[in-house]
Amino acid sequence: MPNSDDRRRDPRAGPIAKESPGRRTNVGIGTFAGMADTATPTRVPLVEYLVLDDGDPHLVANECTNCGARFFDRRNACAACFQTDFRQVRIATEGELRTFTIVAFAAPGVEVPFVSGVIDCDGTSVRGNLRNVEPDADHVHTGMKVRLTTYSLGTDDHGTEAIGFAFEPA
């Protein structure tokens, strides 16, 4: 593991906490103890609710056990009924585009135009982008059938590949 002086020279190592005399404390990202540089390449999802290692890729939501409301983020209580018990449920991988917008302006480095929309996946609304379709009104319309797809966002120096999700025409 690099010492804090090495971390200061390597901007990929992340921030370093302020040092106390006789004590060094590292924070942020870096090499973990026991992690070899020859680790097997892995795939990691961009979001916690994208499941890659359980058969076909799919999304999972936290469903309130009282009222059935579904949330993709962690909750302390249900926003609909205020109960605190949830179970994880698998979300359908096919759905229908309910609404969309064609994005023409984005942050530097983001390719435009692209389609962003809300997909009804068997009763669960999922926000996501559309891929593998021309981003214009001749090719995209509300009511179109779509399915979940995954794609690589890139691979780091250790072979770890980040995976994102989107939807494409079914």
Q: Write out pLDDT tens, residues 44-68.
A: 999 999 999 878 999 999 999 999 9
Cα 20 → chain centroid: 37
> Domain locations in the chain?
44-169
Structure confidence at residue 39 as a pLDDT band (50, 70, 90) = low
pTM over 0.85: no
Q: In angstroms, rounded to a whole number, what is the distance separating the alpha carbons of residues 161 and 170? A: 26
> What are the residues whose beta carbons fall under 8 Å from the beta carbon of 50, sequence distance 6 or more?
57, 58, 59, 150, 163, 164, 165
Q: Over the stretch 76-125, which tens digit does the pLDDT of each residue have?
A: 999 999 999 999 999 999 999 999 999 999 999 999 999 999 999 999 99
User: By CB neighbour count within 10 A (0-12 exposed, 13-18 middle, 19+ buried), where does 163 fall?
Assistant: middle
Q: In angstroms, rounded to a whole number, what is the distance separating the alpha carbons of residues 39 and 9? A: 24
Q: Are 84 and 62 spatial neighbours (Cβ–Cβ below 8 Å)?
A: no
Residue reference for tokens 């890729």: 57
Q: In angstroms, rounded to a whole number, what is the distance separating the alpha carbons of residues 62 and 84? A: 11
Q: In angstroms, rounded to a whole number, what is the distance separating the alpha carbons of residues 43 and 27? A: 24
User: Where do the DSSP E strands lie in the chain?
Assistant: 43-45, 50-51, 58-64, 70-71, 86-90, 94-103, 114-121, 124-130, 145-155, 161-169
